[in-house]
Amino acid sequence: MSTAATETFPDIPLLHWTEALATGDARMDETHEEFVAQLAALRALPHEQQLEPYRALVAHTVAHFEREERWMVAVGFAPENCHAAHHRQILDTMRAVEEHYLQGDHEIIDRMAAALAEWFPMHAQTMDAGLAQHMRAVGFDSRTETLADPSRVRPATMSGCGSVHCS
């Protein structure tokens, strides 16, 4: 059985959670798995049923990014860092999609969902995995949002994203 997403974007398969997307931080991975499930469910819907699930995905993504950005600051990233800037770009685009949908472009949610399915694996495997690795290195617990030893972190010293791919 084909879905709306695979008919519209046959070269971009549905994204499913796999261990390849895991960052090594259980809380982050739970949030990512929720994102992937919401995205797959959205892509399976016909256009006329996508708006409310899309709004839920945007709300989930806002909370997801806010949490990660709180963690970044707690573990020594500058508030203005490239990972957070990347989050802002994604959210700005996601927010613009709803306006276009309401103006009659009912395929735009499919296009955005396909773009997110294509974007997310690299983001998770680079920026988020780098953040998770840094959090482990400084002893940050993402469930309690606490540092075992706060003296291991120098505030606002990192402007990069934590990934080896970020300069």
Query: Could you write out the DSSP letters of every residue in 107-133?
Result: THHHHHHHHHHHHHHHHIIIIIHHHHH
> Is pLDDT at 9 greater than 80 in this prediction?
no
Flag whether 135 is in a domain: yes
- Structure-block tokens of residue 2: 């084909």
Flag whether 158 is in a domain: no
Flag whether 108 is in a domain: yes
**Sign, Cα dihedral of 101, 38, 59, 161:** negative
DSSP assignment of 61-99: HHHHHHHHHHHHHHTTB-SS-HHHHHHHHHHHHHHHHHH
Give residue 154's pLDDT.
77
Mean pLDDT of 34-55: 96
Give residue 117's pLDDT.
95
Flag whether 133 is in a domain: yes
> Is pLDDT at 5 greater than 60 in this prediction?
no
Structural domain boundaries enclosing 85: 47-142
Give residue 158's pLDDT.
53
pLDDT > 70 in the chain, percent: 85
> pLDDT for 62-99, tens place per residue?
999 999 999 999 999 988 899 999 999 999 999 999 99
pTM of the model: 0.86
Flag whether 30 is in a domain: no
Q: How many domains does the chain have?
A: 1
Flag whether 14 is in a domain: no
> Is pLDDT at 8 greater than 60 in this prediction?
no
> Is pLDDT at 134 greater than 70 in this prediction?
yes
How high is the mean pLDDT of the chain? 89
Give residue 163's pLDDT.
45
pLDDT band at 156 (very low <50, low <70, confident <90, very high): low
Give residue 129's pLDDT.
96
